[in-house]
Amino acid sequence: MEDYLEAIFDLDQEKKVVRVKDIAKRMDVKMPSVSSMLKTLNDRGLVRYEKYEYVELTRDGADVGEEMRRRHGVLHKFLTEILKIDDAVADEEACKMEHTLSSATLDSLIDFMEFIQTCPRAGQSWLQYFEDYRQHGRRPEACRARSEAFSDEFEKQVTPAKKKPA
Amino acid sequence: MEDYLEAIFDLDQEKKVVRVKDIAKRMDVKMPSVSSMLKTLNDRGLVRYEKYEYVELTRDGADVGEEMRRRHGVLHKFLTEILKIDDAVADEEACKMEHTLSSATLDSLIDFMEFIQTCPRAGQSWLQYFEDYRQHGRRPEACRARSEAFSDEFEKQVTPAKKKPA
DNA sequence: TCTATATATTAGACATTCCTAATTAGATTA
DNA sequence: TAATCTAATTAGGAATGTCTAATATATAGA
């Protein structure tokens, strides 16, 4: 149901009207599946739908759809930008995960990504370093040697530095 | 099915024998649900089960169970150690997510955590910093100011440092 | 051994979500 | 307008997984 509401929410913003066929295509299911789901969603007050007419979201339905959209976005971003998962795969995985995550976990994940992308120390260069780590195999020693100086300084937070030889 | 195999796999290591009742308790379902699932799993060659006897995993079944165990562990670790989700909640979420993740994504996640915990720059102090960030609200400015020096140096990778005043 | 309790199984139902095949409604066009 | 094509619906069935109530089996105590 959540998937349907998300799909309808998206289509609603992309197109003038939302039809059964569009939903079926978007979700990769057959039209009868859509028909019966629309009946269910209508009964539960999440869409307004009369046979052969266009589909409209109710307020409740739009809320659910939007929330799913948001979750999808957060997960997709994490999967592609941090874990460097292929875009299409990330889309699939996000689609499945978005239903199982609690709001608390999702919020934490958002915090995490904000932190990584807001703080230079945790930002782009850091991610690049992570990429190197993955590309060129596990090299904890090299990694340690390289970053020790920074790390030491960081432990002391704002204490002025005495550098060790790298 | 995967949940059942994971539960059986766990119980198998904890106890001498695995009974319907134990599985039901572990999974918080009623015994008839377990009975019928065991029939299904038996038909698919994932467990060996004769009525009223003890449950045994086949090789295939144990493989699935172990894989689920592994996934659960990775996710639980990420949720508790990085996102600082409450242990019990993390358990629930991991339980739901473990079925939806691809191996590729899971491997990336493992790499990510290995990296964070192997490299000092990305290690414990970094997580602590993330915690502060969450606890005391979003403070991108403070964060930027504090870590700029390290970040600049890091950009140049192994270039000897010329420190700026903090 | 016999009976009471604990454990497990069937029987039968329900919810969710999907499918194929056949039919009907609506839109297009000659 | 009639024929055609596209879109949507109904009918009927399958898979997964859950439950309650009733029944059967096993185990342990008297």
Contact B85, A104 (CB under 8 A): yes
**So what's the pLDDT on residue A122?**
55
**So what's the pLDDT on residue B115?**
75
> Is A95 in a helix, a strand, or coil?
helix
Query: pLDDT tens across A63-121, in order?
Result: 999 999 999 999 999 999 888 889 999 999 999 999 999 888 998 898 888 777 766 55
* Burial (0-12, 13-18, 19+ Cβ within 10 Å), B28: exposed
- Give the separation between CA A19 and CA A53, rounded to whole angstroms: 8
pLDDT confidence band for A150 (50 / 70 / 90)? very low
- Give the separation between CA A112 and CA A79, rounded to whole angstroms: 13
Please enumerate, as own/partner, the contacts of B80-85 that have beta carbons within 8 Å and a separation of 24 or more: B81/B113, B81/B127, B82/A112, B82/B113, B82/B116, B82/B127, B83/A105, B83/A108, B83/A109, B83/A112, B84/A108, B84/B131, B84/B134, B85/A104, B85/A105, B85/A108
Q: What is the dihedral of CA B14, B16, B17, B19, to 10 degrees?
A: -50
- Give the separation between CA A30 and CA A33, rounded to whole angstroms: 6
Look at residues B22, B155, B153 and name the one whose alpha carbon lies nearest to residue A149.
Answer: B153
- Give the separation between CA A77 and CA A94, rounded to whole angstroms: 9
**So what's the pLDDT on residue A127?**
63
Cβ–Cβ contact A144 with B under 8 A:
yes
- Calculate the average pLDDT of chain A: 80
Distance between the two ends of chain A, CA-based, in angstroms? 56
Three-class DSSP labels, B53-116: CCCEECHHHHHHHHHHHHHHHHHHHHHHHHCCCCHHHHHHHHHHHCCCCCHHHHHHHHHHHHHH
DSSP 3-state percent helix, strand, coil across chain A (nearest 5): 70, 0, 30
Contact A149, B161 (CB under 8 A): yes
CA distance B3 to chain A (A): 15
Tell which wins on pLDDT, A27 or B123.
Answer: A27
Length of chain A equals: 166
Lowest mean pLDDT among A92-101, B59-68, B89-98, B142-151: B142-151
Angle at B73 between CA B70 and CA B76, to 5 degrees: 150
CA distance A130 to chain B (A): 7
- Is B145's pLDDT higher than 60? no
**Backbone conformation region of residue B161, classed left if phi is above 0, alpha if psi is from -120 to 50, else beta:** beta
- Give the separation between CA A41 and CA A153, rounded to whole angstroms: 57
Contact list, B115 vs chain A (CB under 8 Å):
130, 133-134, 143
Chain D bases closer than 7 A to any CB of the protein = 7-12, 16-21, 25-26
Closest partner CB to B150 (pick from A79, A118, A150):
A150
Residue closest to D21 C1′ by Cα: B32
- Is B130's pLDDT higher than 70? no
Q: How far is the CA of A40 from the C1' of D4 (A)?
A: 33
pLDDT confidence band for B104 (50 / 70 / 90)? confident
Rg (CA), chain A: 23
Contact B68, B98 (CB under 8 A): yes
- Is B61's pLDDT higher than 60? yes
Q: Output the six-digit token pair for B139.
A: 């403070």
pTM: 0.78
Look at residues B138, B124, B115, B113 and name the one whose alpha carbon lies nearest to residue A154.
Answer: B124
